[in-house]
Amino acid sequence: MSLHHHTLHEGRLLHVGCACCQPESTACGELEHAWADTVAFPLRGVFVKHYDHGAEVVAHVGQVVFFNAGEAYRVSHPAKGGDDCLVLRANNAVLREMLTSHDARRAEREHNPFRATHASLPAAVELQRSLLWHGLRSEEASILEVETRGLSLLDAVLNHTSSDVQRRDEKTTHRSRRREQSHAVAVLLADQPSRDWSLDELAKRVHASPFHLARSFRRVLGEPVHRYQLRVRLALALEQVLDASAPLTSVAMELGFATPSHFAAAFGRAYGITPSALRRQARPSQARELRKILTAGQSSAR
């Protein structure tokens, strides 16, 4: 069996990769051992995970499969073509923090933190997985977007598979602190819109954990950190597209977009018109009125 692992993102908080398996037959492969606590999302094909005690897991698109560090298993492929999986591994501290928020007893277990072997994904979680995969494939997702989407996806999966989610009301002081941290991050993103922030960098700036920052920011500001950053960049881009004579390629690069095409696509989704088309249509005498119309349209769409 040929197994290749391609690293798509490697950071202090999170590893994201794609595992591509091409079997030589439908028989079970050799005994394998997971070297880290890993979550795998099948993207293509079907495989069966066989445990030593006789249990089996049939894995296919629309599911998540859990691998506890050190566990022994074999893999077989009942259908031709092999499989591809999106693989996520959070560092141990982040994973324990996530587990604690859903099930304190799981977090206390040094080994085998994943009690479930696999699960079918709700449509909303499957969409999160697809958005992360799309951003990685297009190579247009920023570090901040990958980390935010990746941790959010892991959190959603752990929440979905927890049989006894523990709900705790945060103390008023904690809620206030989270709100202050979220607002401080919003200021950083607005002050340095072109910077390629990582979630870890932002968390350190406000003395928060990356996981709690990502979660509280969404609760306080109503959207993920990376989406807030994108809105700030697009708002600044709108002014430059309407008012400036700088090449659109320069506008895209100066505001931190991965490529001019990424900028054009994001701009089009937000305002319903491409930057080049808007610039052609916006004569100097009409620019101010057109800006008001577009801004009003964006506000009503939220």
Residue 107: the pLDDT is: 60
What pLDDT is recorded for position 168?
Answer: 41
Domain stops at, among 191, 206, 222? 222
Q: Are residues 186 and 76 in the same domain?
A: no
Do 12 and 142 reside in the same domain of the chain? yes
HEC string of the chain equals: CEEEEEEEEECCCEEEEEEEEECCCCCCCCCEECCCCEEEEEEEEEEEEEECCCCEEEEECCEEEEECCCCEEEEECCCCCCEEEEEEEECHHHHHHHHHHHCHHHHHCCCCCCCCCEEECCHHHHHHHHHHHHHHHHCCCCHHHHHHHHHHHHHHHHHHHCCCCCCCCCCHHHHHHHHHHHHHHHHHHHHCCCCCCCHHHHHHHCCCCHHHHHHHHHHHHCCCHHHHHHHHHHHHHHHHHHHCCCCHHHHHHHCCCCCHHHHHHHHHHHHCCCHHHHHHHCCHHHHHHHHHHHHHHHHHHC
115 and 237 housed in the same domain: no
Q: What is the pLDDT of residue 287?
A: 52
User: What pLDDT is recorded for position 167?
Assistant: 41
**pLDDT tens by residue, 167-192:** 444 456 677 888 889 999 998 998 89
Same domain, 107 and 154: yes
pTM (global) more than 0.85: no
Taking 70 as the pLDDT cut, the residues of the chain under it are 1, 106-110, 163-173, 244, 282-302
Per-residue confidence (pLDDT) for residue 62, from 0 to 100 = 87
pLDDT of residue 228: 92
Domain with residue 28: its CATH number is 2.60.120.10
What is the structure's pLDDT at 181?
94
Of 161, 193, 209, the residue that ends a domain is 161
Residue 166 lies in a domain: no
Residue 13 shares a structural domain with residue 152: yes
Q: Residue 81: what pLDDT? A: 86
Based on the fold, state whether residues 105 and 7 are members of the same structural domain. yes
Range of the domain at 73: 2-161
Q: How many domains does the chain have?
A: 3
Does any domain span residue 182? yes
* The pLDDT value given to residue 243: 72
* 154 & 53 share domain: yes
Q: In this structure, what CATH number is given to the domain that contains residue 244?
A: 1.10.10
